[in-house]
Chain A
Amino acid sequence: MTRRLPSTDVVVVGLGWTGSIMSLELARAGLNVVAIERGPWRDTAADFPPATSADELRYAVRQDLFLRPAQETLTFRNNISQNALPIRRWGSFLPGNGVGGAGVHWNGHTWRWHPWDFTHRSSTIERYGADFLPPDNMMQDWGITYDELEPFYDRFEYLCGIAGKAGNLRGVIQEGGNPFEGPRQREYPTPPMRLTQAPTMFEKAARELGWHPFPNPSANMSQAYTNSYGCRLAPCTYCGFCERFGCGNYSKASPQTCVLPALVRQSNFEARTECQVTKVNLSADGKRATGVTYRDTSGREWEQPAEMVLLCAYQLFNVRLLLLSGIGTPYDPRTGEGTVGRNYAYQITGGATGFFPGERHFNPFVASGSEGIVVDDFNDDNFDHTQVGFVGGSSVACIPTNGRPILNRPVPEGTLRWGSAWKRATHENYNRTASVGIQGSVMPYRGAYLDLDPTYKDPLGLPLLRLTFDFQENERKLRRFGVDRCIEAVRAMGADRVIRNEITGPYDIVPYQSTHTTGGAIMGADPKTSVVNKYCQSWDVPNVFMAGASLFPMNAGFNPTGTVGALAYWAVDAIRERYLKAPGPLVPA
């Protein structure tokens, strides 16, 4: 029996970055907000104090902070001719679990995407012609421009205290920053992090190659910072336990450090943890959400009525919730019709590892998730694509995120993987090995999408999400081109042996590559080709708003969190300033 709870103004599904930001902004606007989170409450002091947080076995190997397949998994196939099978261990990407979401265990690379990204289809056609677009692409503009989003990028960066160097201040290119970035209204909140030896060498080599290196924009703090909510961050200690870890030093921007201390003081906010939302409930005509249904850990089912529903779960699970709730029309790759599930995209990765002769002091144990140098010359449309034959591009970066003892064992190819030879090779190479890598954009294609699996179900009897995805020739070319740049860089840095890191063959969901999955509930200007309008509001059910990377019509060569945060502020601003004054569609369908 479902127990019905008293109604609230707003129910938020998922209490990560977007859920916490939107909860706080709406609670401060006077609304009663209930956030429902599948995982546990997580708190710096109780869950990852610095005396115990640097535990590589627990967090990096055993993945303590991540979603368990027993909670939810998905089925996977490379193309529609195959039968999808459930994955039994999260691998290629690692969804977070619990309050803070992926904001707990991220590395902190905080990018603004390029103006080109938001108009990538029309801009590509304008520059290269329609024939230049890859076959079967589903590229489409976002319905929003960089200029519209700029103030909200600024808000998110100043929420987090991002450490970086501006490259374009109100249209004036700045020495030392990224000359390819869109114009920003002001400098980063804090100066860049300090550099260890490998990225310092990469910076010099990149300049010699004629590229434009600049510091990676970092949510790990270069100095103490206090945001506008009064939340404080301490300087990073460069301990090297960022990715897959919670930061015990209050040095990494996260919902825990930047939002929750203020949010939990709101008496009109309530969080319900370890409760899984299974459905957004709709009115009889299907045009209005009446709240959500969720299950607690004892299996009891509850209904939380609400005037407004914000879907702030991880990208995949936002899409699944729409499908399970019957909001919007599921995408059909055969006809190309329907919207929910379309434009799934991923990122493509690769790089080069160099072994350097002589005495080196790379000291990789001195690290943060974001300390490093990036080159943007080969990303998006920052270079002439006429000769390379692909759309999009990649950032090229030297960001030695850690030198942790279990998983960081750089040894030359051919070394035995055990015993004294392996130990000796580790000893010889640990301090003189450096990698340069790419993070490449992935365009949307007709056959890459999400839907409900017809066979496999979760423990509650609900169909699992099915992922159909493979890399296309456009992206393989892009990767080859990017990895070639990495090899040039590593050689210019002085490496005498270089390993080419490039996975070939079909997309493999087993080895870790990137947690930057995107699309499936995309934003756009046309209800026929998008799930939400430019204000992240459902075309079909106007009191449902979406957040997160499921909104992205494509994936870029940068990490998504900056854009995820900016869109959350953009959407909540539209809710507060426009929707609340006149509830209804903010864009006529």
Chain B
Amino acid sequence: MSPRTPARRLAALLAPAFVLLLGALPAQADDNDYVAIERGRYLATVGDCSSCHLHRESPYAGGRGIEAPFGTINAPNITPDPETGLGRWTRDDFARALQQGVSRNGGHLYPALPYPWFTRISREDSDAIYAYLRTVPPVSNAVNRDTLPFPFSIRAVMRVWNGMFFEPGRFQPVIGRTDEWNRGAYLVEGLGHCGACHTPVNALGGSRRSQSFAGQALQGWYAPNIGGSSYQGIGEWGVDDVVQYLRTGANGWTRASGPMAEVVQRSTSRMTEADLRAIAVYLRDQPGRGPATAPPALAADSPRMRTGQAIYVDNCSACHRRDGQGVESMIPSLASNQIAVQAGPETLIRLVLSGSRPAATDAEPTAPAMPAFGWRLNDAQVADVVTYLRNSWGNAAPPVEASVVQTMRRQLAARGE
């Protein structure tokens, strides 16, 4: 994508006026505007719409349960089906949903639709996505949209929530920053909605902007710190490392697993190199969050470390090697992988218990899997081996207790993982 030119900014400014005049008409002209539709398709990929709105018959027919802090919300059908999808929505309705979190009928949406980020999307981009969604085959799929418990089932509650946490407004380029940086900011803070997972939320589900990108436990994983910290974040990564990770799902530091594997497969691996680079430039410019330095590592000769090492040698070292270096671009290194030292050990624990299948992309089709060990290691053994790798080869992070593993095991069982 090209950086936003002055002409485009002008177009974006004029768009609302244009819509005021024509907004009541259905958006028929767009159906034949190949350029806008293709742009919309690309933007829908950037926004990773299909990860949530996925359905077995269409990437956009909805029904998938999205875990939110107060319950599971089913993603709606956004195909142009008139009865069960967006068939009757105008481009204004669509823009209002993305930018203000308000549905066509005036009801409030929940931030499972990441409108606190999408509010920054330009009207031009919103219209392009709308134009694209008009072209996907309509699928009749009625989705139960009222699954939250009381009092969250009352959508008007969101008016209060919005008053407390929602800052509406289009993206404003920062003067003095490069076009590339601003493009990155637009993507990361807007359509890409990285912070929806990577920025911790408060008790009411509002993002703690002061802790942007510091990471948080989410959906049985720990969305890692992607701020500038050298300890837990991506402070040591170069721009190329970030681009490689997003494009291929793997780099010399780590590989994408879990929800991020989906993001890579459906979204970032299909983005342009220029957009990935812009994202990388912006992310690499973020301040460090979380603790700036590591705590002292546990002593290697402490009992738990020795037990953990014995378990590691027997179960892990064949692939990850005795020195924790793994195999480049294949078996992740544990020695230089920030996942090992995140504030929350959820990802590490679940990788040991249930294994995982990383992202497979055109550039990295192999996606070597981590096998499950939960069937043969008990909670104490998992806790010890995880503690060992959090405190070996230069890593340092608080030890993990068996009770945490036990909780995780229960959660995974409840999720059917």
Given contacts A50-B318, A235-B327, A237-B319, A265 and B371 within 8 Å (CB-CB): no
Asked whether B360 lies within 8 Å of A261 as measured between CB atoms, the reply is: yes
Closest B-chain residue to A239, C-beta based? B318
A128 at the interface (CB under 8 A from B): no
Bound-state CA distance A587–B364 (Å) is 40
Bound-state CA distance A233–B368 (Å) is 9
Bound-state CA distance A231–B361 (Å) is 11
Bound-state CA distance A229–B315 (Å) is 30
Asked whether A51 lies within 8 Å of B372 as measured between CB atoms, the reply is: yes
Query: Chain B's nearest CB lies how many Å from the CB of A52?
Result: 8
Beyond A261-B360, A265-B360, 8 additional pairs, beta carbon < 8 A:
A51-B376, A224-B328, A232-B364, A232-B366, A232-B368, A234-B327, A248-B371, A249-B319
Chain A residues with CB below 8 A from B373, complex form: 51
Chain B residues with CB below 8 A from A513, complex form: none
Closest A-chain residue to B317, C-beta based? A237
Asked whether A45 lies within 8 Å of B369 as measured between CB atoms, the reply is: yes
B363 at the interface (CB under 8 A from A): yes
Chain A residues with CB below 8 A from B367, complex form: 261
Query: Chain B's nearest CB lies how many Å from the CB of A503?
Result: 37
A357 at the interface (CB under 8 A from B): no
Given contacts A51-B376, A232-B330, A265 and B365 within 8 Å (CB-CB): yes
Interface residues of A in 248-289 (CB under 8 A from B): 248-250, 257, 261-262, 265
B331 at the interface (CB under 8 A from A): yes
Chain A residues with CB below 8 A from B331, complex form: 234
* 15 CB-based A-B contacts, threshold 8 Å: A44-B369, A45-B355, A45-B369, A45-B371, A49-B355, A50-B371, A51-B376, A234-B319, A234-B327, A234-B330, A234-B368, A239-B318, A257-B366, A261-B360, A265-B362
B329 at the interface (CB under 8 A from A): yes
A230 at the interface (CB under 8 A from B): yes
Given contacts A45-B369, A49-B369, A224-B327, A230 and B364 within 8 Å (CB-CB): yes
Chain B residues with CB below 8 A from A239, complex form: 318
Interface of B is mostly: loop
B357 at the interface (CB under 8 A from A): yes
Bound-state CA distance A464–B405 (Å) is 55
Chain A residues with CB below 8 A from B362, complex form: 230, 265
Chain A residues with CB below 8 A from B315, complex form: 51
Bound-state CA distance A237–B371 (Å) is 16
Bound-state CA distance A250–B357 (Å) is 14
Bound-state CA distance A52–B374 (Å) is 12
Asked whether A237 lies within 8 Å of B318 as measured between CB atoms, the reply is: yes
Closest A-chain residue to B321, C-beta based? A235
Interface residues of A in 47-101 (CB under 8 A from B): 49-52
Can you list the 4 inter-chain pairs with the closest CB atoms, starting with the nearest? Answer: A45-B369, A49-B371, A261-B365, A237-B318
Asked whether B365 lies within 8 Å of A229 as measured between CB atoms, the reply is: yes
Q: Which of B367, B369, B372 has the most CB of A within 10 A?
A: B369
Given contacts A250-B366, A265-B362, A49 and B319 within 8 Å (CB-CB): no
Tell me how many residues of B have a C-beta within 8 Å of chain A: 24
Query: Chain A's nearest CB lies how many Å from the CB of B185?
Result: 32
Chain B residues with CB below 8 A from A51, complex form: 315, 371-373, 375-376
Query: Chain B's nearest CB lies how many Å from the CB of A414?
Result: 38
Query: Chain A's nearest CB lies how many Å from the CB of B265?
Result: 10
Closest B-chain residue to A225, C-beta based? B330
For B318, give its contact among A49, A226, A232, A249 (CB under 8 Å): A249
Chain B residues with CB below 8 A from A261, complex form: 360, 365-367
Closest A-chain residue to B329, C-beta based? A232
Chain A residues with CB below 8 A from B329, complex form: 226, 232
Bound-state CA distance A228–B363 (Å) is 11
Chain B residues with CB below 8 A from A257, complex form: 366
Closest B-chain residue to A50, C-beta based? B371
Closest A-chain residue to B356, C-beta based? A45
Bound-state CA distance A235–B330 (Å) is 10
Asked whether B372 lies within 8 Å of A231 as measured between CB atoms, the reply is: no
Q: Which of A239, A250, A262, A265 has the most CB of B within 10 A?
A: A250
Chain B residues with CB below 8 A from A52, complex form: 371
Chain B residues with CB below 8 A from A224, complex form: 327-328, 330
Query: Chain A's nearest CB lies how many Å from the CB of B45?
Result: 16
Asked whether A49 lies within 8 Å of B366 as measured between CB atoms, the reply is: no
Bound-state CA distance A248–B372 (Å) is 12
Closest B-chain residue to A230, C-beta based? B365
Bound-state CA distance A226–B368 (Å) is 13
Query: Chain B's nearest CB lies how many Å from the CB of A222?
Result: 13
Interface residues of B in 17-52 (CB under 8 A from A): none
Query: Chain B's nearest CB lies how many Å from the CB of A517?
Result: 32
Chain A residues with CB below 8 A from B363, complex form: 230
Bound-state CA distance A207–B327 (Å) is 36
Asked whether A250 lies within 8 Å of B368 as measured between CB atoms, the reply is: yes
Chain B residues with CB below 8 A from A248, complex form: 371
* Binary flags per residue of B326-360, CB closer than 8 Å to A gives 1, else 0: 01111100000000000000000000000101001
* Binary flags per residue of B400-414, CB closer than 8 Å to A gives 1, else 0: 000000000000000
Query: Chain A's nearest CB lies how many Å from the CB of B104?
Result: 34
For A50, give its contact among B319, B357, B365, B376 (CB under 8 Å): B319
Closest B-chain residue to A261, C-beta based? B365
Closest A-chain residue to B363, C-beta based? A230
Asked whether A231 lies within 8 Å of B365 as measured between CB atoms, the reply is: yes
Closest B-chain residue to A43, C-beta based? B369
Bound-state CA distance A239–B368 (Å) is 18
Chain A residues with CB below 8 A from B369, complex form: 44-45, 49
Asked whether A45 lies within 8 Å of B357 as measured between CB atoms, the reply is: yes
Bound-state CA distance A265–B270 (Å) is 14
Bound-state CA distance A44–B331 (Å) is 14
Chain B residues with CB below 8 A from A262, complex form: 365
Closest B-chain residue to A51, C-beta based? B371
